[in-house]
Structure 1
Amino acid sequence: MPQEFKKQYKEILEKYILRQTEHNLYEGQNISRQLIQKNISPEEVISIHKASLEEIMSDLPEEVWHSFDLLIEVMVRYGLALKEHQTLIQKQQNIKMEMELAANVQQTLLKTKVPNLVDLDIGMISVPAKEMNGDYTHFLHDSTHVGIAVADVIGKGIPAALCMSMIKYGMDSLDGAETNPVIVLDVINRIVEKSVSDSMFISMFYGKYDTSKSEFTYASAGHEPPLFYCSESSSFSELQAKGLLLGVIPNVKYEQHSIALKKGDFVVMMTDGVTECRSKEGFIEQQTIMDIIENVKDQCAQEMVEYVFHKLEELQDFEQRDDFTLVIFKKV
């Protein structure tokens, strides 16, 4: 410990004991900067204080000097805990910066463009609950077809993002938007099964709209069934299709079905962040979600998905617990 610092501290302490002015306190505050710069621990400060006080007021009772020994022991533990706390905070800040960087990379890598078709209105919204998005949406399209993949990783964070990159790789390897949904799921499943850990599973829905037939063809790998709204009957129904989650086994037989879309009909595709929304009273029922969608059935598809998100956000007291993805194909 530099002797000049001990001498400086003793002078400040002596002045404060004699005068106790605001200026004396200010001098004490300024010296704290030197403590940080010279990396002087709390227990060392107390030792300096005790030594200085012994020179200034040597006639203090012995019990007072013993109390400083106790305080030094307390500060030893406190100093160690403080250093651990500061180290933890620094690690958390580093992790946060890495997560933000990874999230930006994910957004760039998995970005997809919503196609613009004459007779099909498309709306999409995908909002992550945290930095990394465990949901994935990807469009394929040409002059007569538009394909839509909606996937959800069972897991969060960077591992989930890496799984999504495998799906992105698989989607980019496909020939085009006219590829049948069962073939798409088969290709993606084989890639995921070979490349992803056994502890990570992915549900995925793939649908293809044919503009020449106004026909929507779809298949599912254990994903949330979409809702089909029939304008003629003003009713909803689920588009069920059996199929195992991606990545479980290499050979899976998926079901494929088709449905004709008439003007005003629409298909609502989603992840479980929509169907498993919770309010204080419990899970929000499917009928409530359907009622919310039907309230805006006459609006454009993008306005519909945004309205549904904000309405469900409101019902959850603005506490989003899971990634939220919603896509609507609306025949116009």
Structure 2
Amino acid sequence: MEDFYFDFAPECLIIIDYDSKIYKSNKKAITFFGKIVDSGFQLSNLAFNNTVKENIFQTQYIHTYFEFGFENRELTYRSTEGYLFHFLLSSEKITIEEKNLLFLSFKNVTDFISYKNIFEELYNSLSTKTIELDTVLAEKEKTYKLLKMKDDEMLRQLNLAKEVQRGLFPELIRKYGSYSVATKIQPASTISGDMVVFNEKSNDILDIVIADVTGHGIPAALITMLLKMSLQVALTSFDDPIYILDQINKDMHTVLSNSAIFATILFARVTFSTGEIIVVNCGHPSPIIVRANGNVEVDEIGGMLLGVVENLDFNIYNMKLEKGDSFILITDGITEASNNQDVFFENKFLEILKNNVKSDPQILIDTVMKNIFLHTGKSELQDDISIVCLKKENV
């Protein structure tokens, strides 16, 4: 079983000795790096560098660098074609046949770092331009032209961030056999602090993850980016939803525990053949089931906010959809939308769900969105809004 996991693990695994000679590599490593990482070759021949540009597998570095085991150290690799890849390297000392060896795990995070850099550059650029604007105000004759120029640049970069976010969290309208699903993500400003991710685990199993970061705009959007990065890595490493959320909680604890920003997250695993749904919730608004007869069921299964404590605090619940039932996930921007009399939209929202039990998911979501704007009497939202509707058809 251990050899099977080694050979077919989702990350690149390589075992070497302290002279950098490769003892064994798994299929993922050979597929990614090529035959050059097969048994007997030298890992030092590959262009790996740590954060200070040292090839850690060369003789003068290897004993010091791998004196102790570690997890998730940043490492870059430049391929023979000139492409640069980013990895998180973990190391563990092992003994095989009385030989002292190093067990190495390489997690490819190249795509996540590229997206992270886009948002960091955007945030830094916007911060710099804000400082520049304070200086410009002292020069009255130039104020209008410079403000217009900076405003256009900020708008351009915000629109770029909006398109990047749409690519990361696309809205979905599709069918899965006898199931229909639709989503809507509506930011209060240009970019959103909500996250909706679908993971098609198999033809019969769909994972739906919805999260909400407090506030909206650039700070909240940056946190959703980090959440998406953490989720993608966790999905490749674990199968159990609890383990997946536990890893995300650990990743986000350092970021969120020392800030005034909080996040909620809910993981739902749907099995189409049985209609069964496993829900793991960390402080997120409870899921809603609208039965075919119009009954609306809301089970309070909150849990602790994400990242507040180091150990995951969650609630888990099992649900089941029958023919004609709908499964609804939302962020609190829907239920907490208020009008001039400070009346929340929650009761009206549940009434809409009950009265539109036969509507398909997209029509139901459109009806909800229309009524939110009618209720608030405003053209702009007070908070980001996300909604997911999964319906088991009457077939």
TM-score with structure 2 setting the length = 0.59
Task: After TM superposition, give the deviation of residue 86 of structure 1 in Å.
Answer: 4.0
Partner of 1:271: 331
d(CA) in 2 for partners of 1:114, 1:171:
22
Structure showing greater radius of gyration is: 1
Query: What is the CA distance between 1:258 and its match in structure 2?
Result: 0.2
Structure 1 residue 115, shift from structure 2 partner: 5.7
**Cα distance in structure 2, aligned partners of 1:113 and 1:312:** 21
- Give the whole-Å Cα distance in 2 for the aligned partners of 1:175 and 1:151: 16
- The 3 A distance-change label for structure 1 pair 175 and 284 is closer
Q: Is the 8 A contact 1:147 1:209 kept in 2?
A: yes
1:231-271 per-residue CA deviation (whole Å, 9 max, x = no partner) reads 34x32121222321112122123121101211122121101
Alignment CA distance shift 1:236-1:321 (3 Å): same
RMSD of aligned Cα (Å)? 2.5
> Does the aligned pair in 1 maintain the 2:181–2:361 contact within 8 Å?
yes
Contact in 2 for aligned 1:150/1:269 (Cα 8 Å): yes
After TM superposition, the structure 1 = structure 2 runs for residues 36-75 of structure 1, keeping only pairs within 5 Å, are none
Distance 1:227 1:279, change over 3 A: same
2: CA distance, partners of 1:164 / 1:241: 22
Q: Give runs of ≥4 in structure 1 deviating > 4 Å.
A: 112-115
Cα deviation for residue 157 of structure 1 reads: 2.0
Paired residue for 1:203? 264
Question: Which among 248, 252, 257 is matched to residue 188 of structure 1?
Answer: 248
Native 8 Å contact 1:114 1:139 kept in 2: no
Q: 2:138, 2:265 → 1: CA distance?
A: 52
- The correspondence for 2:380, drawn from 310, 315, 319, is 319
Unaligned runs of at least 5 residues, structure 2:
1-136
The equivalent of 1:292 in structure 2 is: 352
Any conservation in 2 of the 1:209–1:216 contact (CA below 8 Å)? yes
Match of residue 224 from structure 2: 164
Residue 183 of structure 1: CA displacement?
Answer: 2.7
Q: Which residue is equivalent to 2:95? A: none
Q: Give the Cα–Cα distance (whole angstroms) in 2 for the partners of residues 127 and 242 of structure 1.
A: 23
Residue aligning to 1:150: 210
> Hey, what does 2:290 align to over in structure 1?
229
Q: Which amino acid aligns with 2:318?
A: S
Alpha-carbon deviations, 1:180-229, whole Å to 9, x = none? Answer: 43233212211212345623221111111112321111021111112222
2:347 is the counterpart of 1:248: no
Contact 2:296–2:353 (8 Å) recurs in 1: no
Cα 1:323/1:165, change in 2 over 3 Å: same
**1:88 counterpart SS class:** helix
Alpha carbons 2:286, 2:302 under 8 Å: kept = no
Q: Post-superposition shift, 1:122?
A: 1.1
Change in Cα spacing, 1:285 to 1:99, as seen in structure 2 (3 Å) is closer
Does structure 1 retain, via aligned residues, the 8 Å contact 2:171–2:183?
Answer: no
Name stretches of at least 5 consecutive residues in structure 1 with no aligned partner. 1-77
| Structure 2 residue 146 is the aligned partner of structure 1 residue 87 | yes
Structure 2 residue 178 is the aligned partner of structure 1 residue 119: yes
Tell me the percent identity.
24
Contact conserved, 1:123 with 1:303, CA < 8 A, in 2? no
Q: Is the Cα–Cα contact under 8 Å of residues 231 and 265 in structure 1 kept in the other structure?
A: yes
Matching residue's letter, 2:217: G
2:160 maps to which residue? 101
- Choose the corresponding residue for 2:169, options 102, 110, 117: 110
Which whole-Å CA distance do the structure 1 matches of 2:193 and 2:385 have between them?
A: 9
Structure 1 residues 116 and 174: CA distance shift in structure 2, 3 A: farther
Tell me which residue corresponds to 2:366.
Answer: 306
Q: How many residues align?
A: 254
Normalising by structure 1, what TM-score? 0.69
Verify: 1:329 aligned to 2:382, yes or no. no
